Structure 1
Amino acid sequence: MSLFKFFRKAMKWGTIISTLLFVGITLVQIYGRFFMTKAPSWTEEAARVAFIYAIAFAAGLAVRGAYYVNFGFLVEKFSQKNQELLQYFIWIITSLFILVFTYHAFEFLMMGTVEKSPSLKYPMTISFSGIAIMGISILVHLLNEKPKNTKMPKQ
Structure 2
Amino acid sequence: MKRLLFYTRKIIKWGTVSSTFLFIVLTLVQIYGRFFLEKAPSWTEEAARVAFIYAIAFASGLAIRGNYYVDFGFLFHKLPDRWQQNLRLAIWLSVTFFFLVFTFYALEFVWMGMAETSPSLKYKMAISFSGVAIMGLSILVHLVQQHPFKNKTLTT
Alpha-carbon deviations, 1:121-145, whole Å to 9, x = none?
0000100000000001101110111
- 1:5-154 to structure 2, matched below 5 A, reads 5-147=6-148
One-letter amino acid matched to 2:95 = T
Task: Report deviation, 1:107.
Answer: 0.9
CA–CA distance in 2 between the matches of 1:135 and 1:35? 40
One-letter amino acid matched to 2:18 = I
- Secondary structure of the 2:67 match is coil
Q: Runs of at least 4 residues of structure 1 off by over 6 A? A: none
Task: Report deviation, 1:80.
Answer: 1.1
CA–CA distance in 1 between the matches of 2:117 and 2:38? 27
One-letter amino acid matched to 1:53 = Y
One-letter amino acid matched to 2:54 = Y
Task: Report deviation, 1:147.
Answer: 3.1
CA–CA distance in 1 between the matches of 2:65 and 2:85? 18
Aligned-pair identity in percent equals 63
Where structure 2 has 5 or more consecutive residues not aligned to the other structure, the ranges are 150-156
**Other-structure match for 1:4:** 5
TM-score by length of 2: 0.92
CA–CA distance in 1 between the matches of 2:57 and 2:127? 13
**Other-structure match for 1:153:** none
TM-score by length of 1: 0.93
**Other-structure match for 2:152:** none
- Secondary structure of the 1:2 match is helix
CA–CA distance in 1 between the matches of 2:91 and 2:111? 30
One-letter amino acid matched to 2:59 = A
